[in-house]
Amino acid sequence: MRFSILPSATEPIYRQIIEQVRRQVASGQWPAGTELPSIRNVAQEHAINPMTVSKAYSLLEAEGLLERRRGMGMVIAAIRPAGDPDQRLALLEPTLRDAARQAAQLGLGRAEVIALLRRCLDEATED
């Protein structure tokens, strides 16, 4: 129920938050009705400005993924069904498509690329 935020990353903080919420919802780990940590809490924990968190939450609300419960914080919207596996794969596709394009421009073979992905997957699941 906590965000992992890297202030030094090139990706802006508010977008890091947005992406994490999207993935948590798509993976079914945050079902409809889940209460999000309050803006002030997130801001304090990560020593960032409340406006930055608010911006992320507001955009997610405009997107329909969050609902405001006035005076009571934000919750995951009921509308969204839990993401099925295909939907989750679709979220990953743009990144892999870009990787494939880069591999082609680098003249790399399929086997090499897939072997490298395997290694990265191992690292990522270790954490």
Partner interacting with residue 78 (select from a second copy, DNA, none; CB below 5-8 Å by kind)? none
Distance (Å, whole) CA 16 – CA 46: 13
Residues 61 to 100 in contact with a second copy, rule: CB under 8 A: 62-63, 67, 70-71, 85, 88-89, 91-93, 95-100
Q: What proportions of the chain, in percent to the nearest 5, are helix, strand and coil?
A: 60, 5, 35
Q: Is-contact 31 81, C-beta < 8 A?
A: no
Tokens of 85: 């596996």
Interacting residues toward DNA by CB under 7 A: 7, 12-15, 36, 38-41, 48-49, 51-52, 54-55, 57-58, 61, 68, 70-74
Partner interacting with residue 23 (select from a second copy, DNA, none; CB below 5-8 Å by kind)? a second copy
